[in-house]
Amino acid sequence: MKKKQKTSNEASSPACGPTSLDEKERIAKILAILEKTYPNSKPALFFRNPLELLIATILSARCTDEQVNLVTAKLFEKYKTAEDYASAPIEDLERMIHSLGFYKTKARNIKNTCRLIATKFNGQVPPQMDKLVELPGVGRKTANVVLGNAYGINEGIVVDTHVSRVAYRLGLTKEKQPEKIELDLMRCIPQESWTTFSNQLIWHGRKRCKARNPDCLHCELNLLCPKIGVNK
């Protein structure tokens, strides 16, 4: 059964503040094009349940999803439950994720996070933001990934490097800090679209709106984009 979505105080603010009708129409068109271009978009990380998505997202810090998927293909076969990770020797975890970098910190966070899940949350990844961010190595971005994609809860918007870059170029935010960018986007984007929008913007950042040499010529959003910060 799909969990009931929570309502955020920030999300109750008018869309994009004192937004003109033209700007609301532009955003609606952007959402429509993203939906057409990236239908049924999901994270590139492989997962079968909330625990696997949580582990994969922790591992994805400062490395590519492709690298993570290579590692988790073996990791998820060996460890099935939070108890499995909690009881695993830290050296075994480090060895299995060594290729991803920052492996000592990631292994420690995974082990300690799973220990809390096993002892405090009956072995289940909690579907609440305030409880998720209590877990070692889990911030708001990771919590939003899990809530939106594993539980279908639109608690917030995932702000990674792709979302930050594309949202800025589209003129949806002028902020640089992830927390402030998220608040701007939560005011612009309808709550029921938060998870979908996050995934679509991430894919668009990978496919078209790259950090270097964005493919503006072939971009599906070209006519709606002010290209802020881009050499036109």
Question: Annotated catalytic residue: which of 106, 111, 141, 184?
Answer: 141
Question: Annotated catalytic residue: which of 24, 65, 131, 160?
Answer: 160
Q: Cα–Cα distance between 43 and 46 in angstroms, integer?
A: 8
Q: Is 65 a catalytic residue?
A: no
Q: Cα–Cα distance between 24 and 16 in angstroms, integer?
A: 8
**Among candidate residues 1, 16, 40, 5, the one with its CA nearest the CA of residue 181:** 16
Q: Is residue 216 marked as binding?
A: yes
- Dihedral over Cα of 76, 82, 83, 85: its sign: positive
- Dihedral over Cα of 105, 108, 114, 116: its sign: negative
Q: Is residue 209 marked as binding?
A: yes
- Any idea what the Cα angle at residue 19 is, between residues 18 and 22, rounded to 5°? 155
Q: Is 104 a catalytic residue?
A: no
- b/e code 143-178 from CB counts within 10 Å (16+ = b): bbbbbbbbbebbbbbbbbebbbbbbbbbbbbebeeb
**Among candidate residues 77, 230, 101, the one with its CA nearest the CA of residue 165:** 230
Q: Is residue 63 marked as binding?
A: no
Annotated binding site: 209, 216, 219, 225
Annotated binding site for [4Fe-4S] cluster: 209, 216, 219, 225
State the catalytic residues. 141, 160
